[in-house]
Structure 1
Amino acid sequence: MTVLAHVTSPDPNLALILKVLPALVVILIVAAICGRLAQMVMQPRVLGEMVAGVLLGPTFFGWLFPDAQAALFPKEVRPVLYVLSTIGLTLYMFLVGAGLDHSGRTGEVRKASALAVSGIVPSLLLGFGAGLLLYDLLSLPDVSPFQFALFVGGALSLTAFPMLARILYERGLENAPVGRLTLIAASIDDALAWCILAVLSAMHLGTGAGDALPTIGLTALFAVVMLKVVAPLLRPMGATVARTGRLGATGMYVVIIVPLTAGWLTDWIGVYSVFGGFLAGLAMPRDPKFREALHGRMMEIVSTLLLPTFFTFSGLNTHLGGIAGGAMLLAFGLILLAGFCGKYFGCALAMRGMGFGWRESYAVGALMNARGLMILIFINIGLAQGMITQELFAMLVLVAVLTTAGALPLYKLALPERLESRTKTTEVSALVRSNPS
């Protein structure tokens, strides 16, 4: 009887585990399949993983098999997926920051800041204008035209920082001149976009835009502390790893605790844990042997297990409503055009103005135009807070998918492999000028 009672009344914790593990297995299988399919059609694997997350959500799986989808992802499983996805994204951005070779390049941050501004300002202005034109068609009545237009512009000014990092890592370009500039500029873009969202949230909730100023100030203070205080404290660990060639148990505790703590603090500040993880990575020792040991211990498990969980959790919150009728299609076309032109041409012209060749300039414009899951996070927050309608949400999801899908083909068109391979060790501008074809 005791055994029967145990079987019929299982431990709640065990029952939760028995629900979470099948969900993770399905997530990994679908992510692997979609990632492979994406590579077969010359797209980055990460785009396939993003699509896998959307397919597992209510748009496809939930529409075709609602009972099966509800059984696989019940309400009690979703908080677990949220925690795993947040940890995964934070640690991945930590690895990106730790792997970014920014030593000895004093002018690079200045150039990256100019590139970031060139991507933000045109997208913000074009998106703001599109928002004003579409206010009567797509906005909720309790949202002012200014708030609505600024939300559209802020969403279009985002760059898919995590996805961009995955594309560059898959192509081995994270430390090439173009890759470093693009990564730093994308991080600045996204940080400013989250500041815009903080202002909008404060305005919409009735507390005033001034309440967002502490968020911006604390973010800047946090960055200074990480780079000027924490970074020197971690240098002895880097020297030890450089001497021994391995990252020991104590070092592993440090490299996990630091980014998770940084992510927690930036979440508390209000700018999302991804930036805390990235700043923690920038604070890590810059020795090449340390970077190699760190990536060897952490990268595969983070990118294989935790990131697909993040994509799926976001997909579960993505509801693509029907976009029907001529007015809706024209509205979608206007938003897509504003988002594409602002990033692509703005960033390309900025790169050209900094002395890069046209090929590199258009390649960077293509990469910066990818929006990926960062815009999905942005618009999910807007939808949850009642700032946007389901129709606008659906349009911006499609913008995210299309601009991200177009990023790599446009990049390859601008910078073919015969030129790209040289960017890993040399500045490609001279090469392009000498071989313009």
Structure 2
Amino acid sequence: MSRSIQIAAAVTDKNLELVLKVLPAIVVIMAASWACGRLALMVKQPRVLGEMVAGVLLGPTLLGAVWADGQKFIFPPEVKPILYVLSTIGLTLFMFLVGVGFDHSGGTNGKQEARRAGLLAVSGMVPSLLLGGAVGWLTYDSLSKPGVGSVEFMLFLGGALSITAFPMLARILYERNLQNTSLGRMTLLGASFDDAAAWCFLAVISAMHANAGGAKALVTIGLSVAFVAVMLLVVRPLLKPLGERVQRTGEFGLDQMYLVLGVVIAAGFFTDYIGIYSVFGGFVAGLAMPNNPAFREAVLKRMMDVTTTLLLPIFFTFSGLNTQLNGLGGWAMIGPFLLILVAGFIGKYFGCGLALRGAGLSWRKSLAIGGLMNARGLMILIFINIGLAQGIIGQEVFSMLVLVAVVTTALALPLYRWAMPDHVEREMLIEEGVLVEQAPEPRGDQRELVGSAG
């Protein structure tokens, strides 16, 4: 009996020691994310960009370079697996919230807007996919990992560059009160198509890589299709009464939260089990949720803050711990990096801008949307983390794509503001009835005339 007690005590002490290492690491992550997020807001950038940069700075790029012992103390090897688990849970929940936020009821878009949104999605994905694939072909010998085929590498690099950060785009548009304008609706719809296609694309690449092609890959792809069908055709109708109840009563309690989280975690487990990563399960679970406004608002209100302030910064830091930007100092790596960056920028900015201009939009609106579609943000980080975890890309390509994510995301809002200055944006809001123009205050002599006339 005493031997059992000693073993139990030793296990307890070891677990407590691990907790005392994990919690300070999380405190440091949250403090750095808050500080960098505030700095990002001060320079008129989205907070999430600062959080992305914070994760990179806590890795070997800065903290590990200037204070290696301190970084090892804050993030010892035994803490990293815990951070990985927390970041995976955070990503699964975040992608679930992205899926919940999709308004797939058809909306109020006119036929012309819908056609332009479809054009935007195609022009935002195809040029980047082709240019990224071309760069992948040029750099395959120098950047690919052993055992990764050239086609697989080309498809992954093109897919990574073709993605758009739909949640960040939505946040930018809502902050500027653009969500109900034709520009905002078209951009959101096009970006949602873009991201949905990118996730499907990555699921196919992951299945091919995990099973080395052939019959096993087809089985994984078949299971993925069956999973999506079950979630949308079976689970979604079963959950519909839940949404109606929330819409009718305005109540979303703990019982409902247990049910929702159970569906999300189960979906994430299944997709991870079949080899296409848990974030896909979270995203599809979000699409399967009731699509009425009250339910969406309740779920987002309950879950978004904790996910974005606690779990996502952990993911950014875990990505940063795998990012070695100071390893790109030689020309051998600078050349491929610049090729990837230019391909990603041109594919989105000019691909979207020129296509929309050809469809009849003004140059201002076309280039403004092209700038916004260049925001890759969190979504490309999720994409490339999956590639790194599954061995499709190595550390060098991962680090390059992290830097591409930061640069292109930082350019998105300045490019929009260059094409749509404040006074032009205001005129558009007034023209579309989103903003009511106020009459100027009459001068003193005018007030006297008005009073005498009365």
TM-score by length of 1: 0.83
Instruction: Give CA deviations for 1:41-76 in whole Å, capped at 9, x if unaligned.
Output: 111000000111111111111111111111111222
Decide whether the 8 Å contact of 1:32 with 1:49 is kept in 2: yes
Distance 2:386 2:141 in 1: 22
Higher mean displacement: 241-250 or 413-422 = 413-422
The Cα shift of 1:158 comes to 2.8
CA contact (8 A) 2:121 2:191 kept: no
Match of 2:37 in 1: 35
Residue type matched to 2:224 in 1?
T
| Equivalent residue in structure 1 for 2:209, among 190, 201, 220 | 201
Say whether 1:234 aligns with 2:239: yes
- Looking at structure 2, the residues matched to 20 and 92 of structure 1 have their Cα atoms a distance apart, in angstroms, of 22
Residue deviations 1:80-130 (CA, integer Å, cap 9, x gap) = 212221222222222232233332449788765553332222112212222
**Secondary structure at 1:20's aligned position in 2?**
helix
Q: Contact conserved, 2:164 with 2:191, CA < 8 A, in 1?
A: no
8 Å contact 2:152–2:205 — kept in the other structure? no
Deviation at 1:156, TM superposition (A): 2.1
1:414 partner amino acid: A
Q: Distance in 2 between matches of 1:147 and 1:97?
A: 27
Which residue of structure 2 aligns with residue 190 of structure 1? 198
Distance 2:106 2:393 in 1: 44
The aligned counterpart of 1:408 is 413
Instruction: Read off the aligned partner of 1:42 and give its amino acid letter.
Output: K
Confirm whether residue 51 of structure 1 aligns to residue 53 of structure 2: yes
Q: CA deviation digits over 1:181-222, x for unaligned, max 9?
A: 1441232242144135326625xx7x3355433343333333
Deviation per residue, 1:300-339 (Å, 9 max, x gap)? 2222111111111111121224334545433322221111
Q: Distance in 1 between matches of 2:56 and 2:127?
A: 29
Counterpart CA distance in 1 for 2:430 and 2:214 is: 46
For residues 9 and 95 of structure 1, do their structure 2 counterparts lie closer, same or farther at Cα, with a shift above 3 Å needed?
A: closer
- Residue 25 of structure 2 corresponds to 23
The answer to whether 1:127 aligns with 2:132 is: yes
| Residue number in structure 2 paired with 1:86 | 88
- Change beyond 3 A, Cα 1:210–1:339: farther
Name which of 269, 278, 285 aligns with 2:283: 278
Aligned to 1:178: 186
Aligned to 2:4: none
1: distance between equivalents of 2:196 and 2:329?
A: 36
Q: Residue 57 of structure 1 aligns to a residue in which SS?
A: coil
Paired residue for 1:259? 264
Contact 1:182/1:364 (<8 A) preserved:
no
- Tell me the CA shift for residue 224 of structure 1: 2.7
Code of the residue aligned with 2:135 in structure 1: it is A
Could you report, residue by residue, the CA deviation over 1:318-374 in whole angstroms, capped at 9, with x for unpaired residues?
122433454543332222111111122223344445665444433332233223344
**What does residue 333 of structure 1 align with?**
338
Aligned length: 421
Gaps of 5+ in 2: 1-6, 434-454
Tell me the CA shift for residue 135 of structure 1: 3.7
The CA distance in 1 between the partners of 2:132 and 2:14, in whole Å, is 48
Cα 1:292–1:323 change in 2 (3 A) is: closer
The 3-state SS of whatever aligns with 1:11 is: helix
Q: Counterparts of 2:269 and 2:390 in 1: how far apart (Å)?
A: 22
- The answer to whether residue 366 in structure 2 is matched with residue 361 in structure 1 is yes
Aligned mates of 2:124, 2:179 — CA distance in 1 = 19
For residue 14 of structure 2, the aligned residue among 12, 15, 36 is 12
List alignment gaps of at least 5 residues for structure 1.
Answer: 429-437
RMSD: 3.3
TM-score (norm 2): 0.80
Give identity over the alignment, percent: 60
Distance 1:427 1:265, change over 3 A: farther
**In 2 relative to 1, CA 365–268 (structure 1 residues): closer, same or farther, beyond 3 Å?**
farther
2:316 corresponds to which of 306, 311, 320: 311
**DSSP 3-state at the match of 1:296:** helix
Query: Higher Cα Rg: structure 1 or 2?
Result: 2
1:224 aligns with 2:229: yes
**Does the C-alpha gap of structure 1 residues 21 and 129 become closer, same or farther in structure 2, counting only changes over 3 Å?**
same
DSSP 3-state at the match of 1:285: coil
Deviation at 1:170, TM superposition (A): 4.9
Q: Residues 382 and 340 from structure 1, CA distance in 2 versus in 1: closer, same or farther, beyond 3 angstroms?
A: same
